[in-house]
Structure 1
């Protein structure tokens, strides 16, 4: 059954070892750096029960008759994807900003492995049974599920065996109950999640066909031997009146240390199977890219709204140069929207019998969303003007010694008084200029892979046959020159 927010909070009070700076965090649900984002994730759970939101957030399982979370439902129809998109939009509305690691974007990685059950069966049929069980458990138990990809890596010019072997997560021994792993992973939201799909990031396995590094499993975040070493959070550093996004939607990353952690056999999805590891790397974002790109669409809306309100409150929206820049932001936004919409409208069957977004349109949409993101942020920054970096904090607007002067110079007319203008400038500063803004930009560019990998995904999923056949026909080339797939005959 779907859980409540309190159920979720209680589930992560499991004694896990969480560190931030020199502080041991004993309860992430109440710590200032974690509480805001934990509260948002708890609210998402409560939305599944609230009368005004539950119809969007849930569906009734036809076999059990129970309500389940729509985000975890296996996608089999176009309507499933429309429902998922609508639910994510509602979550972002309630969050009041962009939250990425809340589960709907990471569950799709498991669907990719569901599509590869024949690959898993090559080594051990138990592994394909385990992925089916893991997906059923996610639909039934509604855990907060995240993803673990990135390792510390070490010297990337050398094989992991030729340096400290712990630089990449690997199996150190087997037991009757499962496998024991050692190493580290970077994970967003790990310290306050229930479980993670943990897998390797190696691209080239060479001749190492049975590597101890080729392992994937479902990790219980309360397992003995785990340590969470977190970056310092943005929440609580400065007042929320000055940094509303940093204090509300910051998602804390952790280096998760695996100090000989035992993974039960029933949670192992592949092991010593480089083909399975390569398969999941090549198909990892088949579904999850949709949720990421949808969040970039919402980020584009924030850019447009912040920029447009800033030019409207100073009366500049009628200037042609301003309108042209706003139109560029609108084109950026609608390009993302068009790719998402078309990816659903032209969805295609997956190898495992699911319905996946049209892969070419989804991956080209991701490039269209992320490649110009820094440029679009700077365009919004230009439209907001220089006052987003020089406006005093809220305390100065409340200080009797300075409030009068700031009230005078920040009030424009009876509609735009100083307090509203300060709030708008504070939001724009946090969206575009703050530490949180810089972190958000980097996270968007690298959360799924570096930009070159985005282009590689486009290359491998675009259908080149049409353009090749067209030019062959127009030029009158012989059939001996090229096959329809571009291979030399």
Structure 2
């Protein structure tokens, strides 16, 4: 049964060990650096219960008659994807900014495992049974599910076995109940989630068929032995009036330390076989890339809106140079939209019988969205003007001695008064120029995988035979030549 926001809050009050800003946290639901984003996730749960939004966020299971989250529903039809896209749009609007690690984006990695059951069966038939059970649980129990990927790694010129072995998460021993793992992972939202799909990072196992580093499992975030060492949050570091995004939608990352943590066998999804680990890495974002790229579309809309309101306020929207820059932002936005739309229109049946977005179009869209993002943010900065970096804060605007001067110089006309001007500039600064903005840019570029891996996904999924055949026919090449591209 789909949960309420308060049920979610109660579920993460489990005694987990969390540190942030030099202190140990008693309750992540009330700590000022966690509370805003916990409230956003709780709001997502509540949207599924409210009459005005329930139809967008939830569906009735045909078998049980229970309400389940659309985000967790296995995608089998084009309508399923249309529903998921509408739900993500609603969540972003309700959040008032971009929120990425809230569950709908990370659950798709489990669907990739569902497609890989044949590979998992080669390792151990229990593992494919485990993935089916966990997917069913994600649908019916509605946990906040996140993803654990990147390790500290240490000296990358060395194999993990040739340095401190804990630099990559690994299995240290087996027990009758399961496996015991040691190491650490960087995870967004870990400290306030219910569970995580923990899997190996991009690693070089050499020619090894078996490796203690090739392990994947579902981790209950309340398990004893886990320690969450979080980066300093942006929430609370400045007034909300000056930093509306930092204080509302900052998603806190943690270094999650596994201090000899036991994982029950029923939660292990693959173990030791490097073939299974490599397969999972290569297909990991088959589904999750879609809602991730959709977030970048929303970010593009925020940049366009902030820039356009600024030129409207200042009377510059009719200038050709301004319109050309707005058109560049619009082309960027629509190129993302086109890739998302086409990926579903040309969706493919997956090995597990699900409907997956067209892989070549989806991955190309991800590269387009993320590789152009820094340049688009700079265009938005230019359109917003230099005042986003020199405008005084809200407290100064309220100071009785100087407020008349600020009202005079920041009011443009009867329709655009100083307070609206201040609010827009504060929003644009937090979107484009603040510490939070820099963090968001880096996060978007690397959150799913580094750029070389994103291009690698395009290479593996693009149909090179089409261009090869075209040139072979056009150039009159001999039938003796070999087609295709190297693996």
TM-score normalised according to structure 2 size = 0.99
Shift of 1:453: 1.1
* SS state at 1:32 partner: coil
* SS state at 1:323 partner: helix
Shift of 1:204: 2.5
Deviations 1:207-247 (A, max 9, x none): 22111111100000000000000000000000000000000
Query: 2:88: which partner in 1?
Result: 88
Query: 2:457: which partner in 1?
Result: 457
Deviations 1:61-91 (A, max 9, x none): 1111111000000111111101000000000
Query: 2:337: which partner in 1?
Result: 337
**Contact persistence 1:203–1:281 (CA under 8 A):** no
Deviations 1:403-438 (A, max 9, x none): 111001100100000000000000000000000000
Query: 2:445: which partner in 1?
Result: 445
Question: Structure 2 matches for 1:7-406, cutoff 5 A?
Answer: 7-406=7-406
Deviations 1:148-204 (A, max 9, x none): 000000011111111100000001111111111000000000000000000001333
**Contact persistence 2:58–2:67 (CA under 8 A):** yes
**Contact persistence 2:187–2:254 (CA under 8 A):** yes
Shift of 1:482: 2.8
Separation in 1, partners of 2:116, 2:366: 23
**Contact persistence 2:123–2:276 (CA under 8 A):** no
Separation in 2, partners of 1:380, 1:3: 39
**Contact persistence 2:370–2:444 (CA under 8 A):** yes
Separation in 2, partners of 1:398, 1:202: 51
TM-score normalised according to structure 1 size = 0.99
Separation in 2, partners of 1:315, 1:451: 39
Q: Does 1:476 align with 2:441?
A: no
Shift of 1:486: 4.3
Shift of 1:452: 1.3
* SS state at 2:259 partner: strand
* SS state at 1:232 partner: coil
Separation in 2, partners of 1:205, 1:22: 37
Query: 2:420: which partner in 1?
Result: 420
- Superposed CA RMSD: 0.9
Unaligned runs of 5+ in 1: none
Deviations 1:386-419 (A, max 9, x none): 0000000000111101111100110010000000
Count of residues in Structure 1 that have an aligned counterpart in Structure 2 = 487
| Superposed structure 1 runs of 4+ greater than 6 Å apart | none
* SS state at 1:272 partner: strand
Shift of 1:21: 2.9
Unaligned runs of 5+ in 2: none
Separation in 2, partners of 1:8, 1:479: 63
Deviations 1:46-66 (A, max 9, x none): 001000001010111111111
